[in-house]
Amino acid sequence: MTETHAIDYTMEFPYTRTVGPVFGPFLTGLRDGKIVGNRVNGRVLVPPMEFDPDTGKPVELDFVEVGPGGTVVGWTWVSDPSPKHPFQHPFALALITLDGADTAMVHAVDAGSIDAMSTGMRVEPQYHEDRHGAVTDVHFVPEGTATTVAIVPGEEPVMITEHSIALRIQEELHDHRRRFVEGLLAGRIIGQKSPVDGKVYVPGRGYDNMNRTLLTEADEVEVADRGTVVAFTQITPVQYHGQKETEPYIRCSVLLDGADQPVLGIDIRDITMADFRIGMRMQMVWKPEGQRDASDIDNRYASIPEGCYETWKPTGEPDVDPDSLKEHSW
Amino acid sequence: MSANDNDIAIVAFAQTPSYAHFNNSEPEMIMPLVNDVIGQTGLDRHDIDFTIAGSCDYLSGLPFAFVMNIDAVGAWPPVYESHVEMDGAFAMFEGFVRLKCGDIDTALVSGSGKSSPGSPRIFTALQSDPYVMAPLGVDHVSLGAIQARMLLEAGTVTEEELGAIAVRCREAGAKNPYAQITDALSLEDYLAQPLYNAPLRQADIAPTSDGAAALILARGKKAYDLCDNPVWIRAVDHRMESHHPGLRDLTTSVSTRTAAGKVGLHDGPVDIAELNTLFTHEEVILCEALGLGDGTKINPSGGPLVGNPTMAVGLTRVIEVARAIQNGEARRGVAHCSSGSALQQNLLVVLEGDK
């Protein structure tokens, strides 16, 4: 069962940033095979700065090419690189003062071995074949070991730099969420009942926030697999990257019998808007045991996963008076 | 009784253990602490005038995690509430400043974080400059290691001295019921550890932790209504340096030294210092910048090297000093919290008891 409860997902976001008047020439320089700093208050800053570090004032645009060689003034040997590092083999992250610069920049030195690294060592840039106007267009190597890359300067200055960020999250389902999933797979919907006011939350979150009370397995109760529609909307799918929906559908919230908090995010694809009502009584039609899939549930806000049911169908019971559902209309 | 009307005191505090992994939600870490501190004061939840939390959604990878955390603090009916995407110590600073306005009397402060589901080395890289550092994955451990090497090569500290700090913190941690790392460590063990981010060893580096801390602040005479033995916040100062390491002298901490002057650190004895040392070498830099000598106990809790719940670890430093003062182990002390890599930002809190 452990496999079912492991959560492993990666959130990614592609950032496209305008580069501005100072980082622009720096990143344009890297694309075109040179390193550019700026002169500020008598010092040459590399990387260039948009402000005077001493006063915070905006700077005059006064660029100066530095390097290509430089001196390592501080370093660490990264023996166990993170997925975000430029190399997946051991390498150095170093503070490098380029020839002609007064400040050091952080960059990677691919030295092969920690024994090749020392403070004061000379390094030079190794430009990459693929360059896009990003700080990752280059890394450094011990002086005299860079291989020549034929560089044709680009025509337009770099205006945008792209950086895709990602965070990988790995954890187990929280204890109460795991029990909720195990219940669904066994055909039971489990909620948590507050010992303070008796309200039942589905799915539970491990606490009753209204009364600041932790809820445990001892507070868990089974609720019905039928209930009342308390809110709904029609979703017309917008076609974005990753979108799987093509046809309009209803997304509704159902207050299950025995619960005080509706289950949100239940999608209805076989009833039209004209036939859908607040107060309508609905029955969840389970998938057969063994065919239920709750693997897309995680520790965030959770609904009953669509993989656990075939559909929801009207029970045919009289509607509940919508006025009596106002407290649950979410 | 040393309360002027606008003096601010800590009147209750609580912390979770530092967990290697807490397999439930962040609100479930915070809620028992909130109930604990409210219980200590006898306040009704809705008698607390201001509520502020420090946390970071990046840690657990849960967008709007900080909103979920409000479930834990008792926010219905709605309360006057704020949040900083920083350690709870910085939230406490906002609560302190808010109380100094003089129109309200109490504030509930919390700090919490779950680092274990994600990767601290990735999210610290993502908080660096997005043009010239983040794409290279420049992480806090690597910048700390560069800083440590500079100190070693300058002759400011030796490997054995770093090892002695690790050993001393580990010994202290063995007596700290909230500590996460309690295994014994000898200097021989330390020196035998392989280099991880050379020159740092694993024993030089604070662990990855989940945890939370909370406290209640009260203003003026209200503090004595809520607590027999309030701990007064005499001064707070927060200074920051450039986040470009090439623009800083990494072998010292100008911002800490400035803050120490602003809070009048040496206007009285400094019996205890709880420092937010994420690496052994940071203790060397901070003690020098703070001008601390033999008269000051440094991280008697073991410090972050034995438990490092990001976003609560700084507030925990405040609590450790307050506890030592309430226990009579100290009369006056300083708590330190850092933010950013390689001690880029530093916050100092001077605390003092009545006795």
**Torsions phi, psi for A281 (to 5 deg):** -90, 135
Give the pLDDT band (50/70/90) at residue A1. Answer: very low
Strand A122-127 vs strand A70-78: parallel, antiparallel, or unpaired? antiparallel
In the predicted structure, residue A217 carries a pLDDT above the cut 90: yes
**Torsions phi, psi for B346 (to 5 deg):** -140, 135
CA distance B8 to B117: 36
Report CA Rg, chain A: 30
Strand B231-240 vs strand B8-15: parallel, antiparallel, or unpaired? antiparallel
**Is the separation of the CB atoms in A31 and A137 below 8 Å?**
yes
Distance from the B198 Cα atom to the nearest Cα atom in chain A, whole angstroms? 5
Q: Closest partner residue to A171 among B35, B117, B130, by Cβ?
A: B117
Helix (H, G, I), strand (E, B) or coil at B210: strand
Strand B231-240 vs strand B272-274: parallel, antiparallel, or unpaired? unpaired
Q: Give the pLDDT score at A224.
A: 98
> So what's the ipTM on this one?
0.95
Q: Which of A52, A106, A179 to mutate to test the interface with B (most CBs of B within 10 A)?
A: A106
**Torsions phi, psi for B96 (to 5 deg):** -60, -50
In the predicted structure, residue A4 carries a pLDDT above the cut 60: no
Q: Judge: B136–A93 Cβ closer than 8 Å, yes or no.
A: yes
Distance from the A201 Cα atom to the nearest Cα atom in chain B, whole angstroms? 14
Torsion of CA B54, B56, B60, B62, to 10 degrees: 110
Q: Closest partner residue to A75 among B74, B146, B200, by Cβ?
A: B146
| Residue A54 contacts B where some CB pair is shorter than 8 Å | no
Q: What would the two tokens of residue B82 be?
A: 């704020």
DSSP-derived secondary structure for B256-322: HHHHHHHTTGGGS---EEE---SBHHHHHHHHHHHT--TTSEE-TT-GGGG---TTTHHHHHHHHHH
Per-residue pLDDT of chain B (355 residues), as tens digits, is: 567 899 999 999 999 999 999 999 999 999 999 999 999 999 999 999 999 999 998 888 888 889 999 999 988 889 999 999 999 999 999 999 999 999 999 999 999 999 999 999 999 999 899 999 999 999 999 999 999 999 999 999 999 999 999 999 999 999 999 999 999 999 999 999 999 999 999 999 999 999 999 999 999 999 999 999 999 999 999 999 999 999 999 999 999 999 999 999 999 999 999 999 999 999 999 999 999 999 999 999 999 999 999 999 999 999 999 999 999 999 999 999 999 999 999 999 999 999 7
Q: What would the two tokens of residue B157 be?
A: 């500290």
Its pTM stands at 0.95
Distance from the A315 Cα atom to the nearest Cα atom in chain B, whole angstroms? 35
Chain A residues in contact with B77 (beta carbon < 8 A): none
Q: What would the two tokens of residue B173 be?
A: 């941690």
Q: Closest partner residue to B246 among A77, A104, A166, by Cβ?
A: A104
Percent of chain A with pLDDT over 70: 98
**Torsions phi, psi for B273 (to 5 deg):** -135, 120
**How many A-B residue pairs are in contact by the CB < 8 A criterion?**
174
**Length of chain A in residues, anyone?**
330
Q: What would the two tokens of residue A254 be?
A: 């159902």
Distance from the A19 Cα atom to the nearest Cα atom in chain B, whole angstroms? 8
Chain B residues in contact with A95 (beta carbon < 8 A): 146, 245-246
Which residue from B minimizes the CA distance to A10?
Answer: B61
Which residue from B minimizes the CA distance to A49?
Answer: B244
Chain B residues in contact with A108 (beta carbon < 8 A): 136
Question: Among residues A102, A141, A136, A105, which one has the least CA distance to residue A125?
Answer: A141
Q: How many CB atoms sit inside 10 A of residue A33's CB?
A: 17
Which residue from B minimizes the CA distance to A170?
Answer: B117
Report CA Rg, chain B: 19
CA terminus-to-terminus distance, chain A: 33
Fill in the DSSP letter of residue B54: E
Q: What would the two tokens of residue B88 be?
A: 């709870």
